[in-house]
Structure 1
Amino acid sequence: MTRMLAIANQKGGVAKTTTVASLGAALADLDVSVLVVDLDPQGCLTFSLGHDPDQLESSVHDVLLGEEEIANVLLDTDDNVTLLPATIDLAGAEALLLMRPGREYALKRALAEVAQDYDVILIDCPPSLGVLTLNGLTAADEVVVPLQCETLAHRGVGQLLRTVNEVQQITNPGLTTLGAVATLYDARTTHSRDVLGDVSDRYDLPVLDPPIPRTVRFAEASASGTSVMRGRKNKGANAYRGLAENLWKHWEAGTPVQTFDTA
């Protein structure tokens, strides 16, 4: 059965795209077939996986509007994951979709055509709570929230969880919130743990294990057009490998995801 996981947080700069790219590559290294979906008009995931959004003739924009078959738009990547790319055209799709009935189901309908070809589909939602994010949440089985371990990290989390609750009531009753993925984590300070503990207590949101440490390797990987999983071993890649193994064990064996003790 294909697992569809949305990565969502309307706050920017929380390593959301990095999480999708790195987690996808880590799962692929476990011989899991992975499709990643770029729903951000900025196309950061597309660029991070080695494709220039400005050079693409078709993208998820065309798929959502029914102007192109999804199979004709998918791209291969050096990280052994398949990519449904985004371009700046996607910014216009939001307004066009608003005028269409069943607009929240456009992505779900499109993914249904290829879902049987993949074990896992990861959806990179944009940093907003508009119709594109609603499409991602409506298509997904589960959602995780990347959360930077810095002051004011909780801003927007409550609003996102309210949106998830509304999606559960209206368009996707089966949607489950798995928890938060802690990013930019610094184990040397108590501040990171305090931030996670605050968010966990405030929203009853478990933190998945392991937390993702702060490292310059993520920026270097994005600039090179591959995920942090390629090249020299580093603590960021190791953390995402651990997260991938945690999630895959949860999906395969049906066991609860392992969580990080924020106490």
Structure 2
Amino acid sequence: MSSPAVSSDREKVVSKLPAWLRQTLKVRAAQHGIEIQTAVEQGIRDWCSLASTVSAVDTTGADSFATFLPNGQWEEFRQTASDRRLSLIQGLAQSVQLWLDMNPAPDIQRPAITRRIVVCNQKGGVGKTAITAGVGEALAENPDSLHPVRVAKALAEALRASDVPTTGAKSGDDPLEIENLPGLGLRVLLVDFDPQCHLTNQLGASPLPMDGDSLTNHMAGDPRGELRDLIVSVEDDNFDGRLHLLPACNDAFLLDVRLSAVRAREAALERALAPVEADYDVIIVDCPPSLGLSMDAAAYYGRRRNNEKPGQSGALVVVQAEDSSADAYELLTTQIDDLRTDLQVDIDYLGIVVNLYDSRRGYIATSSLQGWVDIKDPRVVGLIGDLKEQKEAVRVKKPLLSYAPKSQQAVSMRALAREVM
């Protein structure tokens, strides 16, 4: 959390706390959206008012800890610790532990209806897969740890000044404000809906065999087992079993042909995923670069359902700051608009993500970015730089947010996930 300006009614105090207790305090204060000094102030106040002592806290290895307290509170605390025959270090540790006990970690806010994010663009090579994986990882990150996030206000300022060379700058040159926030801790399913299996391969999983079961079979009404049996967990301590993947199969190249013989084919993806929806807070679909029947099914899956608020689910469009992305965007929006009209459904746009951006590429990049920003509806919700960490993560088949958790791309992915949610 950002430290506020210190007012004249507070004084700086220095003591010691064990590292584990200081880190827990830091995370818990962030989870409750308050400053560390406020948490310590509340803990000391409550500790001083207790009628009896509390259990001792292990302070082995305690090191320097400084904060700001209201004038006079530290002296009251010192006197209380003396009356209880406790060291200041033990008294402070008990105060912090008391605050932690009285302010447990808040429950994860889970949506009433599973949210569905359809990551799409007819043009290949814009990085839909990287955005799908990055957003999913950010949504599933550990809620009991702090992760660097680029705050939304700073992102908006960067978009307004699209010629500022921030996302293409070297590491350490980024002037945008970074804030450490708890992970969102959501249960996420990533659906590799692309027959090229890029998402599956990037996350280190194996594509499903052609002679076995697949999402294509379930959509075509010819399942060979339970869909949940195909789902694998993305093994990483940072996600703790919350991030899952439905791998792709090369048989998806035949999906449009097989869907042509299916009744109500626009609902095929929804029917296939229905048995597992309740297991997840968010399902993210990595779409192929296609405008065929499979894209119709994906867009329909992201439609607004009964009792679902606008903007909870829908299409997240990934583009690049160059002209061919604009042409592909027009084709995609035309298809979605036609689907809205033909089926009388509401399909919301969750926003535009400008991916692989580097202002050092000159006028085409900066002017194209400005063109995306000028659209307004849907608005630009993410600006992701073209940096090496994403490519390296793909090479070693690891999630970006684990491979390079403090990289500019990871920081931007977390901001994007919060914008979409």
Equivalence for 1:17: 129
Partner of 1:134: 296
Does 2:397 match 1:225? yes
Q: Distance in 1 between matches of 2:285 and 2:345?
A: 18
The answer to whether residue 385 in structure 2 is matched with residue 213 in structure 1 is yes
2:340 aligned residue: 168
Shift in Å, 1:205: 3.4
Per-residue deviation, 1:72: 1.8
Give the drift of 1:166: 1.5
Render the CA deviation track for 1:8-56: whole Å, top value 9, x for unaligned: 1010110001100111011101201101111101111111111121658
- Name the CA distance, whole Å, in 1 between partners of 2:399 and 2:415: 15
The correspondence for 2:246, drawn from 84, 87, 92, is 84
How far did 1:167 drift?
1.8
- Give 5+ residue unaligned stretches, structure 1: 249-263
Q: Which residue of 1 aligns with 2:351?
A: 179
Name 2:106's counterpart in structure 1.
none
Q: CA deviation at 1:178?
A: 2.0
Which one has more relative contact order, counting CA pairs under 8 Å at least 6 apart?
Answer: 1
CA contact (8 A) 1:138 1:172 kept: no
1:258 corresponding residue in structure 2: none
SS at 1:53 equivalent:
coil
Match of 1:59 in 2: 214
Q: Which amino acid aligns with 1:73?
A: L
Task: Determine the C-alpha separation between the residues in 1 that align with 2:376 and 2:262.
Answer: 34
Find 1:74's aligned residue among 198, 211, 231: 231
- In the alignment, structure 1 residue 246 sits paired with structure 2 residue 401: no
Is residue 139 of structure 2 the alignment partner of residue 27 of structure 1? yes
Partners of 1:124 and 1:222 in 2: how far apart?
Answer: 16
Contact 2:208 2:214 (C-alpha < 8 Å) held by counterparts: no
Match in the other structure for 2:284: 122
Q: 1:21–1:172: structure 2 CA closer, same or farther, 3 Å change rule?
A: farther
Contact 1:14 1:183 in 2 (8 A): yes
**2-structure distance, mates of 1:172, 1:222:** 40
Aligned residue type for 1:192: A
Does the Cα contact within 8 Å between 2:127 and 2:318 map onto a contact in 1?
yes
**Alpha-carbon distance in 1 for matches of 2:357, 2:127:** 11
Distance in 2 separating the partners of 1:238 and 1:190: 26
Query: 1 CA distance for matches of 2:356 and 2:407?
Result: 14
- Say how many residue pairs are matched: 247
4+ residue runs over 6 A deviation: none
Deviates more, 1:33-42 or 1:228-237: 228-237
Give the TM-score of the pair, scaled to structure 2.
Answer: 0.55
Q: Which shows bigger deviation, 192-201 or 179-188?
A: 192-201
Superposed displacement of residue 172, structure 1: 6.4
Secondary structure of residue in 2 paired with 1:35? strand
Structure 2 residue 210 is the aligned partner of structure 1 residue 37: no
**Does the Cα contact within 8 Å between 1:138 and 1:171 map onto a contact in 2?**
no
TM-score (norm. length: structure 1) = 0.87
Question: What are the ranges of 5 or more consecutive residues in structure 2 without an aligned counterpart?
Answer: 1-112, 142-183, 303-312
Query: How far apart, CA to CA, are the structure 2 residues paired with 1:147 and 1:14?
Result: 6
Larger Rg: 2
Residue identity in the other structure for 1:91: F
Cα gap change, 1:174/1:131 in structure 2, threshold over 3 Å: closer, same or farther? same
Instruction: State which of 188, 197, 201 in structure 1 corresponds to 2:370.
Output: 197
Contact 1:217–1:234, Cα closer than 8 Å, also in 2: yes
Give CA-to-partner distance per residue, 1:205-229, whole Å, 9 cap, x none. Answer: 3111x41111121121122222211
CA 1:172–1:75 in structure 2 vs 1: closer, same or farther (change >3 Å)? farther
Q: Which has the larger displacement, 233-242 or 73-82? A: 73-82
